[in-house]
Amino acid sequence: MAFWYYSSGSAWLPFDPMSRGQIEMLWRHSTAAWVYVAAFRGPAYINAAALYMNYNGISYPIARR
């Protein structure tokens, strides 16, 4: 499985395994949805096709590796 990261300042941080799996499915289907992200302890809107995450009104770039 691919690894997914989000940008937080100058660092790229990994998503937790459960989020990673859900984001991978979104990416494969070029879609977006709300996904629980353990680091935020809540749901974040993930747009895998456009490679961004929105949480609490803040947009974060995401990357697949």
Q: Tell me: the pLDDT tens digits for 2-46? A: 999 999 999 999 999 999 999 999 999 999 999 999 999 999 999
Domain residues for the domain of 32 are 4-64
- CA 61 remoteness from chain centre: 8
**Banded model confidence at residue 1, pLDDT cuts 50, 70, 90:** confident
Q: What is the pLDDT of residue 32?
A: 99
- Specify the residue for token string 């490679």: 51
Q: Would you state the pLDDT for residue 31?
A: 98
Burial of 33 (0-12, 13-18, 19+ CB in 10 A): middle
Domain count, the chain: 1
Could you tell me if 3 and 63 are in contact, meaning their C-beta atoms sit under 8 angstroms apart? no
pTM of the predicted model as reported, rounded to 2 decimal places? 0.93
